[in-house]
Structure 1
Amino acid sequence: MENAVAIRAGSGGGAVRRICVLVLLAALTALGPLSIDAYIPGLPRIADSLHSPAWAVQLTVTACLAGLAIGQLLAGPLSDALGRRGPLLFGLTLCAAAGALCALAPNVWLLIVLRGMQGLGGAFALVIAYAYVSDLHEGKAAARYFSLLTLVTGLAPVLAPLMGAQILDAWSWRAVFVTVAALSALVLVACAGALPESRPPRLRPPWEWRRTGSVYGGLLRDRALVGPVLANALTFAVMFAYISGSPFVLQSLYGLSPQQYSLVFAVNAFGLVAAAAAGGALVGRFGAAFLLRAGVTGTAAASAVLLLFAVVGLGLWPILAALFVAIAHVGLVLPNAPALVLRHRGPNAGAAAALLGCGQFLFGGLAAPLAGLTTAHSAVPMAAVMAVLGLAASAVLITVTPAGTAGLLSARAATSRTRRFTMTTDTVTDTLHLRRLGWAGVEIRLGDTLLLIDPLENTAPLAPVMGLPRRPLPPVDAPAGTHALITHVHPDHYDRELIARLALSGTIGCHSPTASALAEDGITAEAQELGEPRRVGGLTVTPVASLDWRGSDCDQVAWVVEGAGTRIIHCGDTMWHGNWWQIARDHGPFDVAFLPVNGVIARFEGYEANVPVTLTPEQAVEAAAALGATAACAIHYELFDNPPAYTEQPDIADRFGRAAHERGITPHLVTDGEVVPLDN
């Protein structure tokens, strides 16, 4: 991690290192598009050289895209668990070796296999490049770096076919693979010598397939993510149907030379980049969701017109015009879909990025051979595939993406503007995102604001009473500037060392009576009275009444957090009490209520009773109903069970789910680190 810290340093040497790292990351993001596009002008020659049909040669594109799709799903969690450098160097080695072997392929079938391996290696480079940025930068600085990498990704398809065409003109298609392999090897050597490790060991969770599947499952249940991911994937497939089919349509059917085709390809790619640049200038005014819809709609409409032109047979120029409009609108989709998908995903941003990339290349790989079924003789198959995919992307935005993600305020969000403690000067231009941490912890993100409630890493102080945890808690990945709220100072809700670390660069909120306890630990807190709101970045936080089983020695509170038209409440490890309805009148209703559900029986330190000292699953649901919550998320359960001192209720998840459904409340039972969906 020392190298990563040095990169952040402000010295002259640090500045040089930052530039070197940026250049290397740009090279990494270019390898994937370079591997795909450099040999595209040579597809007809490969078919002739290897005596293969067009559809078989286009399977080499599909294989590369499939490798890029699968590789991203592997590279993200692997680099989280093992660090960035090792998986990156492995991927670059595989990419270079497979590229060199592609140049020696004696038949199309071996070439297909090798292209899949080359794509797999390129996927590691692509995912880990973005992971490096997340490791080294936060907020607006990270956004600037991502924009630069997106520009490289957009320019690479422009330059790659031009380079490939020149190599084809001087040598053969095999020389294109030699060149790409040489460039991959050069990047490998540079990264081995100059790119530092950026993920410290303390942030590396153990590699567990079950845990990886749980993270991906949680993301896939979030419609706010799935909608843009699918729309992006289908639109990306439109572009790859064009990439795969256009060499045959424009060269074999309309007679363009490889150089002329490369010029057409470059013009269309520059249209894509220009649209992306225009979108960057307009996103502050219209928002990413609006631009995403505009891009998807424009691509679908232009592809449908292209199909009409192909069926009627209007000739080359109408075909070129429709292609230009369709591909230019893709430039509005590719930057804005990630903007919606990757915002506020925290440590799961890598998995979200992997899903985004996997969807792109998976759908793109499926579209490529379909577009090439008969494109040597007709433009209709390519145009039909593009039109169907474009219309499907439009349908996804209408049917899958919730209205809030599509940029429209739901009636519930609009109503929330009139709630009692809403800041009426706010403009809802962003989306609030929630993630469950370990035990009772919750992460809330809005724009550049990151807020944690009751984060917990150190369970050692809990062992004498609560026993050892059933599973290790995930590390809390909290960058500089992270804020925190504490419901009470019991050690399973107040991790002293973690809160002290967060207090170095962020604010710590607590109920006024507990401020002195934090001060004794050297922590300066923002003390608030019950019902007193405070601004934390784009969020408003307010402590409200709660009830701890040990009485007033704890001064436990619940926290109401509001931002971007969404309101949640976090109830610590409260017992049942009579304040629910007053809280609902003063601060509700709520989109999500985070409630303890383990109904624990506690017998220690003179506190002994045969009644639950935290909410049972059924009580939690009744509390959610009293609060007017649309959804209830279970916390504080299935981690500690140490009879007779600390005994959990049985069948918590089943009971919570049944009770919630009977009450018409959406139950959220998510594991540590999973996203809590807000589309109810």
Structure 2
Amino acid sequence: MPSSSVPRSASDCSASGGSASGGLVSPTPDAEALRPEHHPRHLRPADEAPWREPRLDEPPTATGPMHLPTLTGPLPVVEDHVEQRVRVTALMIAVLTTISAIGPLATDMYIPAFPQVAQDFAATPARIQLTLTAFFLGAAGGQVVAGPLSDRLGRRVPLLIGLVLTLAGSVGCALAGSADMMLLMRVLQGVGGGFGMVLARAVLIDLAHGPELFRILNIMQGIGGVAPIIAPLLGGLILAIAPWHTVFWVIAGMTLISTLGVLLVIPESLPVDRRHTGGFRQFLRNVGALLRRRRFTAYLLVNAFSAFALMSYVSASTFVVQDMLGYGPTIYALMFALNSTGMMSMAFLSARLVRTHHPRQLIRVGLGMVALAGGALLTASLLGTPPAWVVLPAFFVLVTAQGLIFGNGGALAAQQAVDMAGTGSALLGLGFSFAASSAAPLVGLAGSASTLPMSLTIVAGVALSTLMFVLAGREDRPGRGAPTADGAPA
């Protein structure tokens, strides 16, 4: 019998020497064919989700004992090494979620204080607005540095470095005596915030796999995704009872608590044998390698263009609700809080549904909801000023739907970057940030005179996000973009 054939019975097995390498299979079987997702359903491990996504760095035994299928039943394969995984606890998720939310909170909690800061520093409003730009630049630089640095050094040390930078920048902002010092400290605070946004996600990608990763990222999204939306409201509440310096002291306190949390409960999640070497050139090669992974890039853009649509709402909603519809600040605040609650609730629901439904099914529903909301706003805008009974429900549906998109889209992209989780997390954050920041200028083209620019940007965002989603689905087809035995995309 040829060595590559499979014996038909136990007697055949004994006749061929009873050795898996001698008679059952060839000494070098096709590793791709032996991956768990290619097993017949009745041979898969019992705890494996029906939609389970393959990981690029995953050995064939990653989700349980692997068996070679034969006509007489599955034969176990002796494993040489099984990676010991750290269990992701609720406390770890809370610490990492808080860290990921510090950057967005530091970005927007300070916005309501612009008039007070300008008055105290005798500076122009345009100069104070530069402090927001300074934070964005620092955060972008922090994300670019943190991802590849953590792929080389591990996650824990760079995470602590980022928290120390955030703490120093926050204290510096609170004590700043001039606009120039405020600009410098905001850059420093942004760099630290960028570290936290990237590395909190990278730690979870290292520790959680399969459906657990999707569930945890949905939970993180449910809490952290609301941060940039409610931050101006929190800042306004603080300013109602305290001077603007208090905003930065609150951020400093959150950062200090998060630092203690990392020291006490967050382990090093990247083993030494999985770390990368090389400098900036290697980082550029890693970025190029990730962007050539079509599924990674497609899901990255699904999230980025969804963020573009969401930030169109964030940028224009105050003008639409207060200036065009005539509601006061209290009604606007209640609407904002209701929409944020809807997004958070949908993300938590997604964390439960992902156990039984493929994440693409949930994203498809979310994109459909955004398309419905955007279409309603655009149609009403073309007919004149949209009435409240169109605008307010459309805003709620638009925001709530993001709870189905961001966590699942990010996790699907992360599945394609597990071998470079830090760099992949940095690219996800940068794509999200750049798309979101580009929405505001487009929405403001007509000022507060029309909802048409806002409606067009929302529709454009969901259309491009849907296109990327369709392209990602094409790459998910068998034989396209599938991981090969060496972990690279086909």
Q: TM-score, normalised by structure 1?
A: 0.52
Q: Does the residue aligned with 2:412 lie in a helix, a strand or coil?
A: helix
Which of residues 397, 406, 413 in structure 2 aligns to 1:325? 397
Q: Shift of the alpha carbon at 1:359?
A: 0.5
CA contact (8 A) 1:157 1:269 kept: no
8 Å contact from structure 2 (residues 214, 408) kept in 1: no
| Identity within the alignment, % | 32
Alignment of 1:17-28 (within 5 A): 18=89, 20-28=91-99
1:6-155 matches, within 5 Å, as 8=86, 18=89, 20-39=91-110, 51-52=124-125, 63-103=134-174, 114-139=185-210, 141-155=212-226
Aligned to 2:376: 305
Out of 446, 453, 469, the residue aligned to residue 397 of structure 1 is 469
Q: Note closer, same or farther for the CA distance 1:219–1:202 as it changes in structure 2 (3 Å cut).
A: closer
Tell me whether 1:367 sits opposite 2:439 in the alignment. Answer: yes
Q: Which has the higher strand share?
A: 1
Higher relative contact order (CA 8 A, sep 6+): 2
In structure 2, distance between residues paired with 1:42 and 1:355? 31
2:455 pairs with one of 376, 383, 398? 383
1:290 and 1:110 mapped to 2: Cα distance?
A: 49
Q: Which amino acid aligns with 2:489?
A: V
Which residue identity is paired with 2:422? G
How far the C-alpha of 1:371 sits from its partner, in A, is 2.8
Q: Shift in Å at residue 397 of structure 1?
A: 3.5
Partner of 2:55 in structure 1? none
Q: Secondary structure at the match of 2:277?
A: coil
* Contact 1:72–1:357 (Cα < 8 Å) also in 2: yes
Shift in CA distance, 284/126, structure 1 to aligned 2, threshold 3 Å: same
By how many angstroms is 1:235 displaced?
A: 0.8
Answer with 86-95 or 199-208: which moved more. 199-208
Q: Residue 261 of structure 1 aligns to which amino acid in structure 2?
A: Y
CA contact (8 A) 2:217 2:407 kept: no
Within 5 A, what are the aligned runs for 1:285-296?
287-296=358-367
- 1:492-507 map, 5 Å: none
Could you say which residue in structure 1 is the equivalent of 2:52?
none
Provide Cα deviations, 1:55-77, integer angstroms capped at 9, x if missing partner: x8776555544544442232121
Q: Structure 2 matches for 1:93-242, cutoff 5 A?
A: 93-103=164-174, 114-139=185-210, 141-157=212-228, 160-192=231-263, 195-242=266-313
Alignment partners' CA distance in 1, 2:296 and 2:85: 32
Structure 1 pair 203–237 and aligned structure 2 pair: CA distance change class (3 A): same
Matches within 5 A, 1:166-565: 166-192=237-263, 195-251=266-322, 258-283=329-354, 287-310=358-381, 312-343=384-415, 345-373=417-445, 375-376=447-448, 378-398=450-470, 400-401=471-472, 403-405=474-476, 409=477, 432-434=482-484, 442-443=486-487
When residues 20 and 290 of structure 1 are mapped into structure 2, their CA distance, relative to the original with a 3 A threshold, is closer
CA contact (8 A) 1:291 1:333 kept: yes
Shift of 1:192: 4.3
Name the aligned partner's letter for residue 231 of structure 1.
Answer: V
The Cα of 1:341 is off from its aligned counterpart by 1.1
Question: Taking structure 1 as reference, are residues 397 and 197 closer, same or farther at Cα in structure 2, changes over 3 Å only?
Answer: closer
2:303 touches 2:432 (CA, 8 Å); kept in 1?
A: yes
Change beyond 3 A, Cα 1:345–1:51: closer
Aligned counterparts of 1:102 and 1:373: Cα–Cα separation in 2: 32
Q: Deviations over 1:143-201 (max 9, x none)?
A: 55434433332453565444323112223444323322332233234434654434344
Give the match's secondary structure for 1:676.
coil
* 3-state secondary structure, aligned to 2:472: coil
Hey, what's the Cα distance between the residues in 2 that align with 1:308 and 1:43? 36
> 1:225 is matched by which residue type in structure 2?
F
The answer for the alignment partner of 2:18 in structure 1 is none
Letter in 2 for 1:433: P
- Give the corresponding residue for 1:642: none
1:233 CA drift (Å): 0.2
Instruction: Look up the match of 1:486.
Output: none
Structure 2 partner of 1:607: none
**Are the equivalent residues in 2 in contact too, given 1:66–1:119 (CA < 8 A)?**
yes
Asked whether the equivalents of residues 310 and 380 of structure 1 are also in contact (C-alpha less than 8 Å), the reply is yes
Q: CA RMSD in A?
A: 3.7
Offset at residue 234 of structure 1 (A)? 1.0
2:393 counterpart letter in structure 1: A
Residues of 2 paired with 1:52 and 1:134: CA distance?
Answer: 41
- Give the SS at the match of 2:406: helix
In 2, Cα distance between the equivalents of 1:19 and 1:328?
24
Tell me the distance in 1 between the aligned counterparts of 2:165 and 2:465. Answer: 34
Alpha carbons of structure 1 residues 94 and 19: separation in structure 2 relative to 1, 3 Å: same
User: How many Å apart are 1:222 and its aligned residue?
Assistant: 2.0
Distance in structure 2 (CA, Å) of the matches to 1:59 and 1:165? 20
> CA, structure 1 residues 282+132, in 2 after alignment: closer, same or farther (shift >3 Å)?
closer
Q: 1:270 to 1:192 in 2, by over 3 A?
A: same
The 8 Å contact of residues 339 and 396 in structure 2, kept in 1 or not, is answered as yes
Change (3 A) 1:225 1:139: closer
CA distance 1:39–1:266, change in 2 (3 Å)? farther
Q: 1:434 to 1:355 in 2, by over 3 A?
A: farther
How much does 1:357 deviate? 1.6
CA gap 1:285/1:392 in 2 versus in 1, 3 angstroms: same
5+ residue gaps, structure 1, are: 10-14, 414-430, 436-441, 444-674
Contact 1:232 1:334 in 2 (8 A): yes
Evaluate the alpha carbon distance shift between residue 319 and residue 105 of structure 1 in structure 2; reply closer, same or farther with a 3 A threshold.
farther
Paired residue total: 405
- Compute the displacement of 1:220 (Å): 0.9
Deviations 1:102-134 (A, max 9, x none): 456688887666545433211211222223234
Q: What secondary structure sits across from 2:125 in the alignment?
A: coil
Q: Match for residue 588 of structure 1?
A: none
Contact 1:165/1:259 (CA < 8 Å) preserved in 2? no
Alpha-carbon contact 1:52-1:108 (below 8 Å) kept: no
The structure having more radius of gyration, on CA atoms, is 1
Q: Which residue of 1 aligns with 2:57?
A: none
CA distance in 2, matches of 1:45, 1:246: 23
User: Match for residue 546 of structure 1?
Assistant: none
1:318–1:98 CA distance, 2 compared to 1 (3 A): farther
- 8 Å contact kept, 2:218–2:350: no
Question: CA, structure 1 residues 252+111, in 2 after alignment: closer, same or farther (shift >3 Å)?
Answer: farther
Would the aligned equivalents of 2:378 and 2:455 in 1 still touch at CA under 8 Å?
A: yes
SS of 2:268's equivalent? coil
Q: Distance in 2 between matches of 1:262 and 1:676?
A: 47
What's the offset of the Cα at 1:279? 3.7
Q: Is the 8 A contact 1:68 1:361 kept in 2?
A: no
Offset at residue 236 of structure 1 (A): 0.8
Gaps of 5+ in 2: 1-82
How far is the alpha carbon of 1:98 from its aligned partner? Answer: 2.6
Deviations 1:466-509 (A, max 9, x none): xxxxxxxxxxxxxxxxxxxxxxxxxxxxxxxxxxxxxxxxxxxx
Check 1:252–1:177 CA distance in 2 against 1; reply closer, same or farther (3 A cut). farther
1:676 aligns with 2:472: no
Task: Report if aligned partners of 1:165, 1:258 keep a CA contact under 8 Å in 2.
Answer: no
